[in-house]
Structure 1
Amino acid sequence: MAHKTLNPESPSDFAIDPLRVEFRSAETELAFQRHHLNRSRSSLRLTLIFCSVFYLAFAMTDVAALGYGRVALVLLVGRMLVAITAIMGLHLIRDPSEPVAAQWLVASAAEVVGMATFMLIVWFRPSEIPWHAMSLCIMLIVVYVFIPNRLIIAKGIAVAATAAFIMIAVDKGNLTPSDALTMSMLLLLANSFGLVAARRYHRLWRDEYRGLMDLKHLSVRDHLTGSYNRRHLHEMQLPTEIARARRYKHWLTMVVCDIDHFKSINDAYGHQTGDAVLQHVSGMLQAMTREHVDSVVRYGGEEFLLILSQTDLDGALYVAERLRAAIADNPTVDAAGRSIATTASFGVLAVNFSVVGKEVTEKSLIAAADTLLYEAKKSGRNNIQCSEWSDESTGQGLSFRPLTIYDSGASDMCLRHVDAA
C-alpha cells in the first residue's frame, strides 16, 4: 500500500495541537518524526553519551562528600545504572523496525533513570541543596530542549522531578522559609524557560516541515488539476510500483485516459473552459480511485494515467467503465454556467508479475497502454480497449493480447473477446 501523500492545502493534515505541540493528525506527526529521525537520533546519541560520562565522573564528588563507604557505593551503583541505561538506549535506537517508538522509549527511560538517580544523590547529600538546585536547573533545560522526546512526556518528567526535589529539600535540607521560596521560584523559572523554549522549537520544526511539504507538493503535483505530474511518475511513482509488484508477485494495472475531442472544446469555448474540463475530469478520476493506494497522473495535455496497485484485468475494467460512464454522465459546468458534455477513451493494460519475466520496463508498459488508447480512439472514442500483458516475444519485442470491450451503447457488463491472431 502506498503511503499517504500529505497535502499542505488540507488544514486537518497540518493542524498543531496547542497542548501537545504535535500535529493533530497522527499520520502527519509520524511522517514528521521519520523525516527528522536522523537528526533526532544524532542528538539523542550525543546526549546519552555526554550525560552518562558526567554522571560517572561526578562519582568522585560522592567520595569527597561522604568518604569511602556504603552510601558512596550505593550512589556509584545508581550512576552506573544511568550509564547502563544509556548503553542499552544506544543499542535500541539502532532497531529499524520501530525507530520512532524506540527513540521515545529510550529518551523517556534516560530521563526517568537520570532524574531518579539525581534524587537519590540529593537524599544522601542534603547539605548541598543549593548546589543541587543549580544542577537540577541545568538538567531541566536538557530534558526540555536537548533530549528529543515528546514534549508532553518531557514536561511530565520535569514537573515530577521538580516536585520530588522540593519535597526532599524541605524535608532534609533544613532550609529557611525564604531559602525554600527562593529555590522553588528558581526551579519554577527553569521549568517555565525550558517549556517556552521547547514549545518554540517544536513549533518551528513543524512549521519548517510544513514548508518542506509545500515545496514537495508543488514538485510532484500538476498545478492545474492536483494530479501527480509526469516527473513524479517517472522518478518515483512508477519505478516504486513496479518494484513492489515484482517483489511481492502482485498484479499492476495501468489505465490511460484521454478526453475526447478536447481541442474542439478549447476552440469552441476557450481555454478557461478547457481548464475547467480538465479539473472536473481529474477530480472524478481521483474521487473514484482508492486514496493512498492508486495514483492519478496528468501525463500530458488532456491525457491522464492511472496506476492501480494489486488490481487484475477484471478489477481494472470495472474501474475504467465506472470512470467512463461517470465522465459521460456528468458534464462540466464552466464559469459562464454552460454545460460541457465530455467523454473519454481508455486503454487498460494489466500485468501479472507472478508470471511475467524481468523484461517488463516502465517504457514498454506505457507504450503498450498508449497503443490500447490509440485503438480505443480509432474504434470511435468513448470506449475501452484492454489487454493482459504476456511474454510472448515477437520481432518487435514483448507482445500483448488485444481485447475489445463494449462502447457506450452496450450493457453494464463488460463484454470482451480476444482478437484472432
Structure 2
Amino acid sequence: MTTEQEFQQHHLARTRSSLRTTLIFCGFFYVAFALTDAAVLGYTRETAMLLFARLLVAITAACGLYLVRRHPTSILLLRLTATAAEIVGMSTFMLIVWHRPAEVPWHAMSICIMLIVVYIFIPNRLVISLGVAVATTASFIAIVVSIGTLRPADLLTMSMLLLLANSFGLVAARRYHRIWREEYRVQSLLIHLSVRDHLTGCYNRRYLNEVLLKTELARSRHQGLPFAVILCDIDHFKSINDTYGHLAGDAVLRTFSTVLQTTTRQEVDSVVRYGGEEFLVLLPRTDRAGAETLADRLRHTFAQTPAEWADQSVSATASFGVLAIDARDGPVSDEAIFAAVDKLLYRAKRAGRNKVQSGVLVQSRNAFQG
C-alpha cells in the first residue's frame, strides 16, 4: 500500500463523517428553501420545476448516504459521492438563479457560502473541488450578465467578491490538507518509533509480545496454515565489540538486520530485534522445511556479507534455531514458543555455531519435538 493510500485510509472515518454531515445538511436546506421559491414565484410551473430540482439534490444526497453506508471502506466511492453532490447541487443553484433573476445580490451571497462548503466541508480531492468551484463561478457570472440587471460597477464588485471567496476557500482547503498530512506524518513517526528498534529498523520486542505473535498465531490457527519462527544470534558478538569497538558492533547489527529484512517476504514475514544481538523472524504460511531452507539461506548470505563502517569491514556468522508450530490443535503460550526456539538456538551454538537446528512445537500438548 502506498503512502497516499495509507493516508486516505487513516482519514477515512473522518472523511466519511464529514461527508455524511454535509450531505444531510445540504439535502435538508435545499428542500427547505423551496418555500422561498413559492414566496417569490407563487404556485407556478416554475415553482414545481424548481422543487423537483431541489428534490433531486436531496435524492442525490440520500443515495450517497446509502452507498457510503453500504461500502464504508471505499475511498473511490466517497470521492464519487462528493463530486456528484457538488455538481448536482451547483447545477440546481444555477437553475434557481436563472428563474429568480430579481434576487441576484442574494444569490451572490448564497454562492459565496456554497463555494466555502465545496472547498472545506465536502471532502474531495482539491483539484476536483477547485474545478467545480471555478466552473460554478464562471456560470453564475455568465447568467448574471445574461440577465442584465446589474450595473457594470456592481457586476465588477460581485465578480471580485466571488474571486475573493474562491481564493479564501482554496487557501483554507490547502491549509487543512497540509494540517491533515502533517498530523498523519507525525502520528506515523510516533507509531514507527514505538514499534521499531531505532538502530536496525526491525520491530521491537514489546510490539512482538503485544501484537505480532498473538496476531500471527490467531491467523494461522483460524486459517489452518503452517507457521514457523526463527531465532538467530550473531556468533561471538562480544568479541567483535571488544576487538573492533561498539561502532563496529552496530555496523554488524545493521548488516544482519538488513540481510534478514531483504531476504524475507515483505508485508508477510516480520523481523524483530529480540534483544542485544538476537533477532526473531515470524514466518506465516511456512512449514518446517521452508523455514529451514530460509534459515540456511540467511546463514550463508550473512556469512558472505561483511559489515562496513568508516573505511573498515568485519565478517561475522550467526546461528539459527528454527521452530515449526502446529497451529491447528489449539492455543499455545508465548513462553512455550520462546523456550522451545531458544533451546534450538543454543543447540546450534553447541554444534559449533554458524549452524541451523530445527524442531516442531505441537500446540495441543505444548510438546516440543526436536
When the two structures are superposed, what TM-score results if normalisation uses the length of structure 1?
0.83
Q: Which residue in 1 is equivalent to 2:164?
A: 189
Letter paired with 2:316: T
User: Is the counterpart of residue 381 in structure 1 residue 356 in structure 2?
Assistant: no
1:87 to 15, 39, 62: 62
Task: Give, in whole Å, the separation in 1 of the partners of 2:361 and 2:259.
Answer: 27
User: Is the counterpart of residue 401 in structure 1 residue 369 in structure 2?
Assistant: yes
The answer on whether the counterparts of 1:392 and 1:400 sit within 8 Å (CA) in structure 2 is no
Letter paired with 1:183: M
Task: Give, in whole Å, the separation in 2 of the partners of 1:254 and 1:238.
Answer: 10
Q: 1:308 aligns to what SS in structure 2?
A: strand
Letter paired with 2:39: A
Task: Give, in whole Å, the separation in 1 of the partners of 2:336 and 2:80.
Answer: 48
Task: Give, in whole Å, the separation in 2 of the partners of 1:392 and 1:308.
Answer: 20
2:134 to 149, 152, 159: 159
Q: Which residue in 2 is equivalent to 1:412?
A: none
For residues 11-410 of structure 1, what are the structure 2 equivalents within 5 Å?
Answer: 27-96=2-71, 98-335=73-310, 337-353=311-327, 356-391=328-363, 393=365, 398-402=366-370
Moved more, 261-270 or 220-229: 261-270
Q: 2:266 aligns to what SS in structure 1?
A: coil
Deviations 1:345-400 (A, max 9, x none): 001112353xx31133333222222221121111111000112443574xxxx223
Q: 2:181 aligns to what SS in structure 1?
A: helix
Q: 1:154 aligns to what SS in structure 2?
A: helix
Which structure shows the bigger proportion of residues in helix conformation? 2
How far the C-alpha of 1:202 sits from its partner, in A, is: 0.4
Task: Give, in whole Å, the separation in 2 of the partners of 1:74 and 1:372.
Answer: 80
RMSD of aligned Cα (Å) = 1.8
Task: Give, in whole Å, the separation in 1 of the partners of 2:364 and 2:116.
Answer: 68
Task: Give, in whole Å, the separation in 2 of the partners of 1:90 and 1:102.
Answer: 11
Q: 1:222 aligns to what SS in structure 2?
A: coil
Q: 1:170 aligns to what SS in structure 2?
A: helix
Task: Give, in whole Å, the separation in 2 of the partners of 1:53 and 1:224.
Answer: 56
The answer on whether the counterparts of 2:331 and 2:364 sit within 8 Å (CA) in structure 1 is no
Matched-pair identity in %: 59
Task: Give, in whole Å, the separation in 1 of the partners of 2:218 and 2:148.
Answer: 66
| Count of aligned pairs between the two proteins | 370
When the two structures are superposed, what TM-score results if normalisation uses the length of structure 2?
0.94
Q: 2:280 aligns to what SS in structure 1?
A: strand
Shift in alpha-carbon separation, 1:160–1:50, aligned structure 2, 3 A:
same
The answer on whether the counterparts of 2:241 and 2:248 sit within 8 Å (CA) in structure 1 is yes
The answer on whether the counterparts of 1:95 and 1:102 sit within 8 Å (CA) in structure 2 is no
